[in-house]
Amino acid sequence: MSNKIQKSEAEWKAELSEEVFRILRKKGTERAYTGKYDKHYKAGSYHCAGCGEHLFDSDSKFDSHCGWPAFDAAAAKDKISEERDISLGMLRTEVLCSKCDGHLGHVFNDGPTKTGLRYCINSASLTFKPKSN
């Protein structure tokens, strides 16, 4: 991606809240069922809390009962990137914002919709923009 955002850890730390920095830049996670977007179903779009990149749409959001916001597709394939994650003694696929490399969550191939995907995303890594009428 040609417009990749590159900032120092100090710059990110100065711009983000402690919790958002911990999740986006240090690959943390929020406790299940505590995020503000877990049970949020308003029409609109979800954006990276670090750089504002449009990542997911409300049309792809579903209740996965996993405790984190779940989506079955990204807004566009080039908006996210994936990396192998072997932390915590298990093999998972980490999801990152393609524009700023912020950690968003993980994707699993056990989704109930036609895509078969479940993007399990931290609320703290997202902001929401309501759909304008």
Q: Which of 48, 51, 100, 120 is catalytic?
A: 120
Cross-strand bridge partners of residue 70: 62, 120
The kind and range of the H/E element at 18 are helix 18-24
Query: CA–CA distance from 32 to each of 1, 53, 119, 124 (Å)?
Result: 32, 24, 14, 12
Cross-strand bridge partners of residue 96: 81, 103
What CA–CA distance (Å, rounded) separates 1 from 93? 20
Q: Which residues contact 115 (CB under 8 A, 6 or more apart)?
A: 72, 73
Catalytic residue status for 66: no
Q: Are strands 103-108 and 92-97 parallel, antiparallel or unpaired?
A: antiparallel
For the annotated catalytic residues, the residue numbers are 120
